[in-house]
Every structure is written in C-alpha cells, then in structure tokens.
C-alpha cells in the first residue's frame, strides 16, 4: 500500500499472482546455483549444523553394523532394529539434551518392560480366554494414565519418558502375546535399546561435542552486545540531521530496517527466552566440562540474567519506536540536549558491554567507576530536562521563553525556529520603523513597543517550519487553509502540534533514563551470577 502525506486519496497496488510466483521462483524457475549458494550460506552461518549431521550419520552407521554382521543378528534377531530407532530418537544437538533424552528413554523403557512382563504373566495364568481382555484393558489403562500424568506441571520435563512407556509397553505386550514368550522379547528389546543409547552418547560426547552450557554462555554474551549496540545505534540516528531520510515504522510492518543492523540483533534478544530456558535445562544434565568444572553449576541464574536483559531490550525497542514514530521533535530541539543524551547512552552502553565481557571471560571486575559515570551522565540529562522543561511543553510560547534569564548559547538555538523569532521581530521592527518614517499615521506608536508580526509573514514562517518538522497529523499549512479554518483557529492548532512534537523528545529521554534504571538491576543479577558461578576476581 503506497500513500502520500497530505493527499486525500490512497493508492493501493495489489500485485498479481503471476508477479508473486515470479518473485518466489526468482523469475527463471528453480536455480541449482542459487540453491547451492543458500545451502552454503546456511552451513556457514553455523558450522555445528554440519558436524551434528555427520555425527548422527556415524551413530546410525555403527548400530547398523549389528544388523549387517551375522553374529549380532543371530543373537538379537529382528529386535536389534530397536537400537537404530533409539539412536534416531535419542541423538540431540547438544550433549546435555542427549543425556536428558537418554535418561527418559532408559527409565521409560525399563518401566514399560517391567509392567509388560507383570501383565503378561498375569494374563497367561488367567487362561487363553481372559488373556486378550486383560491385555486390552492394560493397554487402555496405561495409555490413559501416562497421557494424564505427563500433563501434570511437575512431570512436564519428563513428557518424553511417559511417551516411551506407552509405546514400548504396547509393542512388547502385543508382540509377546503373538510370539508366546514376553520375558525374552522384553529382555532382547531392552538390550537393543541399551546398545543404541550407549552408541548415541558415545558419539555425541567423544566426537566434536557441542555442550549446551557453552552455547548458553555464548548466547547470553551476544545478548549483552546486541542491546548495547542497538542503544548506541538508535541514539546516533535520533540525533542525526532531520533532513537525512529514515525509513518509516508504519511502512516497515516487518520491522525491517536495513540501515540498522543492530536492531535485528536486539529483536532476536527479545525472543531468546525459550532458547535460554531450553539450553539451561539441557546444561543441567551435562557433567563438568571445559570452563564449567564444578558440580551444580548455577545454570538457572543465566536464565534470570537473560530475563533482566530482555527488560532492558524492551526499553531499547521503545526508543526505536520513538525514532520511527510520526511525531518528531525538531532537529534543533533534539540537538539542544544532544550532548547529554549521547553521553548518557554511551556510558550506559559501555556498562552493558562491560558486564557482557565479564561474563564472557568469567571474571569479577570493579564496576563502581562505570556505574558512577552512568549515574552522573544521567543526572546531568535530568537536570537539563528539568531546567529547560519549558522547551518541551510549548516551543511557541516566546514571552515565557524570553523571560528566562541567561539562556545558554546552545539553548538559544532551539528558539530560532519558533514563529516569534527574536531576530525576525527585530527585522520587522526595522521595516516598521521605515514605514513609520514614510507614513505619518505611525508616528504615535510609543517607543519600545514591538509591533505584532503580520499575518501573512507568520503563515510563511509556519509553512517553512511545517515542512521541516515531522509533525502529526502530516499536513501542510495549505491543508488547513483548504478546510476554511480561520486564522484565530489556525494558530492554537499549530501551536498544539508543535507542543506535541516537542513532547516526543521528553518521551525519548524518559525511556533512556528508565533504561539506565534497569541497567542497575542488571548489574545486581550479574554480580549474583558471578558469585554463584565462582568467577575469578580481576587482578588490579
């Protein structure tokens, strides 16, 4: 949908189905070269994906040798196929997830085997007539109980184990009924499952192991850097000249801003909750390894730190919302507080990056100097906003503005774009004095009285100001004139729009200050993590 501001109509372009099909197929149908390039990019993005695929292939090959060779097949028979199924089901991306899946598989298979043997012996002693009824009732009962219990909140992590109990029990009890020897059938399948589980764990641990704990550690560090980079990027673009083109948020419904690479990473951090929890759950099953060499490592604290970091990312995304909003403060007003905003954002981003670096190298460093700098820069921004808050309430109230004593030079620049500009008043005063010399009727005007600006020149000033100001609603001065509004109605409405635009700067600064407040909480949870994980103290 393409629309232009200030127009009364909106043009809607609906692409044809042929155009959509052409885009999907690249215009020339399937391209083998493009497909190979996509696969290459996918593999280069994460090389562990290729390693994982090769490891699964190796594990399946090893258990298949038990079938390909005659001796193992003679011992286990067709039940050896269960070892292949176990590898395919158990083998997970990380070592911790494989251990977790293996535990559920082993416990579920053992419990199902025991139950199947008990029920089978009871059914055999009941006689040939009652045996199928007992087996059918036991299958119904086991299916009902396992499906109900796995929904209980405390047993949700073991949901896979209950599924294993269900299908293993059904397969053993039914096949035992037909074969006639349920105990031998159960034992052979348990042996096959044990062989498959051992091969899966052996390959996953010894061949290029991918530890869930290490991945959790790296993901958290990436989140810190993404939030800090996105904050710096957002503030930098907000303080840029308004003449530079920014993509509008309303037109980018997919939040795709090509000129903001850190924005995408920050958005990924917001969606990392499920991934961090999954990695933390898998890491609990892993033995001490690498840099994480002590038992009962506090993986749950990583999830807590990630939660606080996401709250900081929420503030950064809100700042991006202000950056791409329809209501924008004038550039000269933004530049008035530019140094304070930039200093506060840079110091906060520096602190966040420092916290991420401490987690990456697993050390505890002194953060008091950085925290003091962040608080000092934030207080400076607050004082600037409090002292000159009148600039954020109504930028067109010149009488109050001029009554303020001793304005700094940079703040005086913010008043240059107001309708009642002091320099323009002096120019009007000079022109009126010249007219007064030529017109006798103006001789009676008292000295020191500033004549009111003419309506026509005021409209010209407001038209230029409206083009430069990204205000809402997005209408030029001509649009107001076409509606037949009187001059008395036009002035308050334009002043209200300017005041609303100026308040967007107050929104941006308040969100930045709130971000700093949440960073203080982030410092606390990182310090708690460093103590529980026994990070090394930095040698000064």
DSSP 76-97: HGGGGHHHHHHHHHH--SSHHH
pLDDT of residue 314: 92
Percent of the chain with pLDDT over 70: 68
Query: Confidence band (pLDDT; 50, 70, 90) for 496?
Result: low
Q: According to the model, what pLDDT value does residue 436 have?
A: 45
Query: With pLDDT > 90 as the criterion, what percentage of the chain qualifies?
Result: 22
Two tokens at 486? 């009187």
d(CA 410, CA 332): 9
Burial of residue 242, with CB atoms counted within 10 A of its CB: 0-12 exposed, 13-18 middle, 19 or more buried: middle
Instruction: Output DSSP code: residue 152.
Output: S
Q: How far is CA 342 from CA 98, 346, 349, 381, 505, in A?
A: 47, 6, 10, 10, 13
Q: Whose structure tokens read 């309708």?
A: 419
Statement: residue 281 has pLDDT above 50:
yes
- Mean pLDDT over the full length of the chain: 74
Q: Going from the N-terminus, what domains does the chain have, and what CATH number goes with each?
A: 45-206 (no CATH), 212-242+255-395+491-537 (1.20.58.220)
Question: Is residue 227's pLDDT more than 70?
Answer: yes
Quick count: other Cβ atoms within 10 Å of Cβ 316?
31
Asked if 302 and 276 count as a contact pair (C-beta separation under 8 A), the reply is yes
pLDDT at 500 over 90: no
Q: For residues 372-400, b (16+ Cβ closer than 10 Å) or e, as one string? A: ebbeebbeebeebbeebeebbebbbbbee
Find tokens 């390693």 and name the residue: 51
CA distance 113 to 518: 53
449 pLDDT more than 50: no
Residue 511, both tokens: 């969100």
In which band, very low, low, confident or very high, does the pLDDT at 352 lie, cut at 50, 70 and 90?
very high
Using an 8 Å Cβ cutoff, are 7 and 473 in contact? no
Confidence of residue 347 (pLDDT cuts 50, 70, 90): very high
CA neighbours within 13 Å on the CB side: how many for 345? Answer: 27
| DSSP 3-state of 204 | helix
Q: Which range among 355-364, 473-482, 489-498 shows the weakest confidence by mean pLDDT?
A: 473-482
Query: For 182-209, what is each residue's pLDDT tens digit?
Result: 777 778 778 888 888 899 999 999 988 9
Check residue 429 and give its pLDDT.
40
pLDDT, position 390: 65
Least confident of 217-226, 356-365, 449-458: 449-458
> Which of 20-24, 101-105, 447-451, 498-502 tops mean pLDDT?
101-105
d(CA 177, CA 179): 6
Residue 537, SS3? strand
Distance CA 371, CA 308 (A): 17
Which pLDDT score, from 0 to 100, does residue 393 have? 61
Residue 536's DSSP bridge partners are 363
Predicted TM-score of the model (pTM): 0.70
256's CB contacts (< 8 A; 6+ apart) are: none
Comparison of pLDDT for 452 and 309, the residue scoring more: 309
Residue pair 176/185 in contact by the 8 Å Cβ criterion: yes
Q: H-helix or E-strand containing 364?
A: strand 363-364
User: Which pLDDT band holds residue 526 (cuts at 50, 70, 90)?
Assistant: very high
What's the confidence (pLDDT) of residue 255?
Answer: 53
Q: Which is it for the CA torsion 153, 154, 157, 163, positive or negative?
A: negative
Residue with structure tokens 């076409």?
482
- The whole-number pLDDT of residue 324 equals 82
Cβ neighbours, 10 Å, residue 363: 14
State the Cα–Cα distance between residues 402 and 406, nearest whole angstrom.
10
Bridge partner residues of 292 (DSSP): 289
363-376 pLDDT tens trace? 988 888 899 999 99
| Tens digits of residue pLDDT in 130-150 | 888 988 899 999 999 999 998
For 3-50, how does the pLDDT look when each residue is reduced to its tens digit (9 = 90+)? 444 444 444 444 444 444 444 444 455 678 788 888 888 877 777 888
Bond prior to 473 in cis (omega within 30° of 0): yes
Residue 440 has pLDDT above 90, yes or no: no
């Amino acid at each position: 949908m393409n629309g232009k501001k200030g127009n009364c109509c909106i043009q809607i372009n609906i692409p044809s189905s042929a155009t959509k099909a052409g885009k999907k197929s690249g215009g020339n149908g399937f391209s083998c070269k493009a497909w190979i390039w996509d696969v290459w990019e996918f593999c280069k993005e994460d090389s562990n994906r290729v390693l994982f695929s090769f490891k699964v292939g190796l594990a399946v090959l090893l258990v298949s040798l038990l079938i390909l060779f005659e001796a193992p097949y003679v011992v286990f028979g067709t039940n050896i196929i269960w070892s292949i199924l176990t590898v395919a089901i158990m083998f997970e991306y990380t070592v911790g997830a494989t251990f977790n899946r293996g535990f559920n598989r082993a416990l579920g298979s053992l419990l199902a085997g025991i139950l199947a043997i008990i029920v089978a012996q009871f059914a055999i002693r009941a006689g040939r007539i009652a045996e199928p009824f007992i087996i059918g009732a036991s299958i119904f009962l086991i299916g009902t109980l396992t499906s109900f219990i796995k929904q209980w909140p405390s047993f949700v992590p073991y949901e896979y184990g209950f599924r294993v109990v269900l299908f293993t029990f059904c397969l053993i009890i039914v096949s035992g009924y037909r074969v006639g020897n349920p105990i031998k059938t159960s034992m052979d399948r348990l042996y096959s499952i044990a062989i498959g589980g051992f091969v899966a764990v052996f390959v996953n641990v010894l061949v290029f192991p991918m530890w869930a704990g290490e991945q959790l550690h790296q993901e958290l560090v990436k989140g810190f850097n993404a939030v800090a980079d996105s904050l710096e990027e957002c503030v930098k673009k907000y303080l840029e000249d308004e003449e530079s083109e920014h993509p509008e948020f309303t037109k980018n419904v997919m939040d795709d801003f090509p000129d903001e690479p850190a924005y995408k990473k920050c958005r990924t951090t917001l969606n990392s909750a499920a991934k961090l929890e999954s990695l933390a759950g898998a890491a609990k099953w892993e033995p001490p390894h690498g840099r994480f060499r002590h038992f009962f490592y506090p993986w749950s604290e990583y999830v807590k730190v990630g939660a606080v970091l996401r709250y900081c990312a929420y503030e950064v995304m809100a700042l991006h919302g202000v950056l791409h909003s329809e209501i924008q403060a004038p550039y000269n007003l933004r530049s008035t507080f530019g140094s304070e905003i930039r200093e506060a954002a840079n110091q906060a981003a520096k602190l966040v990056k420092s916290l991420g670096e401490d987690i990456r190298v697993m050390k505890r460093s002194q953060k008091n100097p950085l925290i003091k700098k962040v608080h000092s820069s934030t207080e400076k921004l607050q004082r600037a906003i409090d002292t000159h808050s009148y600039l954020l309430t109504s930028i067109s109230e010149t009488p109050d503005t001029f009554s303020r004593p001793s304005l700094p030079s940079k703040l005086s620049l913010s008043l240059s774009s107001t309708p009642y500009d002091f320099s323009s008043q002096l120019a009007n005063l000079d022109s009126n004095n010249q007219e007064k010399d030529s017109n006798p009727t103006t001789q009676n005007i008292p000295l020191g009285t500033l004549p009111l600006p003419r309506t026509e020149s005021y409209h010209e000033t407001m038209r230029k100001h409206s083009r430069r100001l990204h205000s809402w609603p997005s209408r030029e001065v001509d649009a107001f004139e076409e509606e037949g509004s009187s001059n008395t109605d036009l002035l308050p409405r334009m002043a209200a729009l300017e005041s609303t635009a100026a308040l967007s700067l107050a929104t941006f600064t308040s969100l930045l200050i709130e971000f700093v407040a949440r960073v203080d909480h982030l410092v606390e949870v990182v310090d708690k993590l460093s103590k529980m994980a026994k990070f090394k103290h930095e040698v000064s």
